[in-house]
Structure 1
Amino acid sequence: MLSKGVGLFPTESAAKMCEYVQLSESLGYDHVWFGDSQNIWRESSTVMGAAAVGTTKVVLGTGVTNAVTRHPSLLASTWATLAEMTDGRVALGIGTGDSSLRTMGLKPLKLAELEESITQLRTLFRGEKVREATSGAEYHLNYLTAPVDIPIYIAASAPKILKMSGRIADGVIVLVGTAPHFIEAALKTIEEGAAESGRTLDDIHIVLWTPTAISDDRKEARDLVRAHVSRVAIRPLPAQVEPELESAIDRIRQSYNYYEHMNTEASHADLVPDELVDLFALAGTRDECALRLKQIESLGVDQVSIVPFVRPGESRAPTIRAFAEIVDNQS
């Protein structure tokens, strides 16, 4: 059975974010994932701590953090503390770094650096020592009295990181769109990586991350997701888009503004044609979204995690409710 997740960028107050989390829990969502980009959104770890207080079942995660602005010692301590607060209801989503770095002119981690960071985190979660890369000094989490089990999810879209995720991750947050051929290509690549470590896809929790807008006004829904679609489309992907769409993607890539990252009114959103929306989003009427969701469910994804998009000042609650109803009606 397909599980429900929701990705929330902290663009509103911590109190409002907590309301969304409590609503999601009441509707049977399994995970709430928080965007982590300190220059454009509110502080993710603070919001997660606040949300933890008012919930009892939903798993709280990042979608996603990084090991540059968050030193591994800080990441480890943050997540060990959150795990303690929630009795283990946490999922550490991590990637190479995107807007959190690019808004400061910093470059994402190389894959080998990301893998080393994950190795260090797991060592720290066991209560063992790691060596700090710059100083050479050893450090550990002094307050741990026993190992803490925190699943690590890697955000992935390009083939190399998809394969690495299959090899080392507990879960993969797959950002490749909603078109079946993209999802199938991603799963095949993850499976190849899993085989390298003696695993199968059954050993990895697959989360499909998708920009979502559900409305009776089909055009309105499609317009709302264009900003997120633009970010997905300019990433390396596990399958090719049609040649005629490549020029549109190039135009988006050249104009992308990271301070307007995921902003529905971003200037680069206007460059996204309908054909890309069809490939990379869940956007349209309830019936249209239900049909696409049924196609996705047949592919072997464990969870669809929506990123609800609405106009500035509007509540994300109706979209969170609508998606829950679509999934529940299909189960």
Structure 2
Amino acid sequence: MSKSIEFWTNFTAMDPRDAANQARQFEQDGWDGAVMVDSQCMFTDVWTYLALCAQATDRIQLGTGVTNMVTRHPSVTAAAAATLQLISGGRASLGVGRGDSSLAYVGASPQRVNEFEHFLEVTQTYLRGDAVDMADASAMLVGAKVGFDNLAIGSAPEGSRVKWLQQYDMAKVPMEVYATGPKVIAAAARHADNVMMMMTAAPARVAWGVGIVRDAAAEAGRDGIGIGCAMMVVPHDDLQTARDLARPQVASQARFSVMNKRVMGPATPSQTATLLNIADAYDMNRHGSVEGAASAHADAADDDFVDQFAVVGSVDNCVERLIEISELGVDRMSLWLPYARGEVSARSYDLLMTEVLPRVRAA
């Protein structure tokens, strides 16, 4: 491997009372960072969860994977992320996306791309401690009476900002956008500190995304943008066992590439057909469920598709695949673990930590 790459993973402990223990374990195991999902109707509160993790650890970076900018006002999200940065000693990361299950479970679709890009810019302004125009800030509120007419207020705030940031000498929280489509990837390259591509493990798709990031960043006159990719990685002695363990989340992650029933990014005819089948069959009621292998969308992801869109199987195969992807221009790899808990997933994790990652890091 020509350069140092950070390896992150996802928290799988659903009970926040188990968060600290898993965070300590991840830190002990050598992960560079770990993220927790923000989906208020499916999981407990992400910021409380990450705060518990921060208090239990000293080194590992902690972030949302991901939150959105609709269910919370950008100032609220920025303040929460900055608070985590403060209590963790500078280890926070704000991972954002257009919203999926967090919006679906309140009857909404992902945020429009042009609106999303503007919210990225506004959130970065809050994270820097700078002022957002008051009219812009109030326009992002739902159901609020805008303005100060008939209110007992002599001097209104001149702008909307996270004022308390001025009290602390700490680095700005890096904002990371999780993206799949070309428009969102480009928007992330223009405004975010890092771009995490949910392109799965197909090298052609990762390379395509890296190219978009580089072109959009160059056009915007930006450099130093971090580029990462997220994928399921499930080593196991038995290939079929690995496939079955990865399948539910592979289908969930693949759906982002066909969110609007149109395949985004390079795909073979077979991959295109499978992606469209996943889109047609997707059952949001089973989203994120460890029993997802019994769902229609997981069943639509056949073995060949899982082999291509995830890293599964023998240690040698997993090492070879990860090294191949690492050479495509990424500086972070987020290796997602199955939410299933048991002897099978424990064996997979053991192989990942004791055999796969040491060999990949040494390559």
Match of 1:169 in 2: 192
Which SS does the other structure have where 1:263 is aligned?
coil
RMSD, aligned α-carbons: 2.1
* Structure-2 separation of matches of 1:191 and 1:60: 26
Match of 1:270 in 2: 299
Contact 1:226 1:264 in 2 (8 A): no
Contact 1:27 1:321 in 2 (8 A): no
Alignment of 1:1-331 (within 5 A): 1-9=4-12, 12-130=14-132, 131=134, 132-133=138-139, 134=141, 135-136=145-146, 138-146=159-167, 149-200=172-223, 203-236=224-257, 239-266=265-292, 267=295, 268-309=297-338, 311-312=340-341, 319-325=348-354, 326-330=356-360, 331=362
Q: CA offset at residue 126 of structure 1?
A: 3.0
Which SS does the other structure have where 1:143 is aligned?
helix
Moved over 4 A (4+): 134-138, 312-321
Contact 1:207 1:303 in 2 (8 A): yes
Indicate how the Cα distance of structure 1 residues 42 and 252 shifts in structure 2: closer, same or farther if over 3 A, else same.
Answer: same
The 10-residue stretch of structure 1 (300-309 or 14-23) with the greater mean CA deviation from structure 2: 14-23
* Structure-1 separation of matches of 2:326 and 2:184: 23
Unaligned runs of 5+ in 2: 148-158, 258-262
* Structure-2 separation of matches of 1:86 and 1:215: 34
Contact 1:185 1:238 in 2 (8 A): no
Which SS does the other structure have where 2:90 is aligned?
coil
Q: CA offset at residue 196 of structure 1?
A: 1.5
* Structure-1 separation of matches of 2:80 and 2:195: 21
Counting aligned pairs with the same residue, the percent is 30
Q: CA offset at residue 231 of structure 1?
A: 2.4
* Structure-2 separation of matches of 1:49 and 1:314: 29
Contact 1:179 1:278 in 2 (8 A): no
Q: CA offset at residue 314 of structure 1?
A: 5.8
Question: What is the CA deviation profile of residues 34-88 of structure 1, one whole-angstrom value per residue up to 9, with x for unaligned ones?
Answer: 1111111222111100000011111101111001112212101111111110111
Q: CA offset at residue 255 of structure 1?
A: 2.0
Alignment TM-score, normalising by the size of structure 1: 0.92
Contact 2:113 2:184 in 1 (8 A): yes
Contact 1:9 1:35 in 2 (8 A): no
Which SS does the other structure have where 1:107 is aligned?
coil
* Structure-1 separation of matches of 2:12 and 2:231: 13
Alignment TM-score, normalising by the size of structure 2: 0.84
The 10-residue stretch of structure 1 (64-73 or 223-232) with the greater mean CA deviation from structure 2: 223-232
Contact 2:97 2:177 in 1 (8 A): yes
* Structure-2 separation of matches of 1:310 and 1:97: 20
Contact 1:232 1:280 in 2 (8 A): no
Alignment: residue pair count = 328
Question: What is the CA deviation profile of residues 119-170 of structure 1, one whole-angstrom value per residue up to 9, with x for unaligned ones?
Answer: 2222222333322214555533232225750110000111111111122211
Greater gyration radius: 2
